[in-house]
Each structure stands twice: as structure tokens, then as C-alpha cells.
């Protein structure tokens, strides 16, 4: 996005902080443990059960490879050009119970640097879209509808 803002109409982010893969990511062999960990992180139990049923070693490797692909110094480079994101309308989602992606202050500062609006999702965590899909969809729809005006 910061390299070629001309290629997008708008953007939304819910993780505007660099995070390293957590070695405790629930991809181990014990299904009940994976469900419990996802619930601890804020996912509802029914959704956690469906998600964990699809997790396997290949998914774990893919998820960790994705996180590693955004490691330093690449993230620092992108951060140096963050102001370029302001060339397109942006929305930063701030799920107040998301403890996996930096502090609220860090995420708000990053949103300001990128020229983004901030929408606060009080009481929702990392899996806000599964916790309250209606509220998440409304926030996104309101943002996109505002671009039409």
C-alpha cells in the first residue's frame, strides 16, 4: 500500500503494528487445548471449534511463513513510508481487547501517521469479525459508504 497507493481505492487495517509469530499459536496436536487458547484470545467457543478443526501442521507452517515474511527490516522500511498511505482513504480498526497486536496508543499513533480514521470496537478482541460480525460489517460498510459521498 505505501509503495503504490495509486493501485488502491481505500484500505482497512486491524493490525497496524509489527507482530512476531507467537510460538504459542494454537497449532499443536491437542484439539481441546487449541480451542481453549483461541477462546482465551477472544474467539467464541463454537467458532474456535470450527477453526481448530481445520488447523494442521501445514497451516501452522504457512501462518508462520506469512508472519516471517513481514519481519524486519521490511516492516521498518514500510513504516518509513507510512505517510504515503494517506494518499488514499484509510480506516484503522481498534479492537480494544486485542492483546496480540500492540497497545491502543501504538495503533492510534500508527493510524494517525497513515492518515487513517480510527473505528473503535469496544470489548472485541483479535477475532472481532467472529465475535460480532454484525458490528464489524457495519463499521466496514459505513466506511465504504462514506467514500461514495
Q: Assess if residue 3 is contained within a domain.
A: no
Write the pLDDT tens digit of every residue in 47-94. Answer: 999 988 888 778 778 877 877 776 677 777 777 888 989 999 999 999
Q: What pLDDT is recorded for position 144?
A: 96
Q: Assess if residue 1 is contained within a domain.
A: no
Q: What pLDDT is recorded for position 16?
A: 67
Q: Assess if residue 60 is contained within a domain.
A: yes
Write the pLDDT tens digit of every residue in 118-141. Answer: 999 999 988 899 889 999 999 999
Q: Assess if residue 94 is contained within a domain.
A: yes
- CATH number, domain containing residue 25: 3.40.50.1820
Q: Assess if residue 19 is contained within a domain.
A: yes
Q: Which grid cell sits at 49?
A: 471449534
As for how many domains the chain has, the answer is 1
**Structural domain of residue 67, as residue ranges?**
9-148
DSSP result, 22-89? PTT-S-SS-HHHHHHHHHHTT--HHHHHHHHHT--HHHHHHHHHHHHHT-TTHHHHHHHTGGGGGGS-
Write the pLDDT tens digit of every residue in 12-46. Answer: 998 765 444 444 454 566 888 889 888 887 788 99
User: CA-based diameter of the chain, in Å?
Assistant: 50
Q: Assess if residue 55 is contained within a domain.
A: yes
Q: Assess if residue 4 is contained within a domain.
A: no
Whole-structure pTM value: 0.74
Where b means 16+ CB within 10 Å and e means fewer, 59-83 reads eeeeebeeeeeeeeeeeeebbeebe
Q: Assess if residue 61 is contained within a domain.
A: yes
Amino acid at each position: 500500500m505505501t509503495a503504490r497507493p495509486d493501485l488502491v481505492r481505500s484500505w482497512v487495517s486491524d493490525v497496524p503494528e509489527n507482530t512476531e509469530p507467537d510460538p504459542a499459536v494454537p497449532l499443536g496436536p491437542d484439539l481441546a487445548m487449541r480451542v481453549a487458547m483461541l477462546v482465551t484470545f477472544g474467539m467464541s467457543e463454537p467458532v474456535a471449534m470450527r477453526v481448530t478443526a481445520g488447523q494442521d501442521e501445514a497451516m501452522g507452517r504457512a501462518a508462520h511463513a506469512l508472519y516471517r515474511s513481514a519481519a524486519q527490516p521490511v516492516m521498518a522500511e514500510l513504516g518509513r513510508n507510512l505517510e504515503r498511505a494517506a494518499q488514499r482513504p484509510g480506516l484503522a480498526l481498534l479492537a480494544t481487547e486485542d492483546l496480540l497486536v500492540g497497545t491502543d496508543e501504538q495503533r492510534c499513533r500508527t493510524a494517525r501517521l497513515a492518515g487513517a480514521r480510527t473505528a473503535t470496537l469496544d470489548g472485541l478482541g483479535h477475532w472481532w469479525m467472529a465475535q460480532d460480525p454484525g458490528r464489524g460489517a457495519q463499521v466496514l460498510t459505513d466506511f465504504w459508504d462514506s467514500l461514495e459521498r
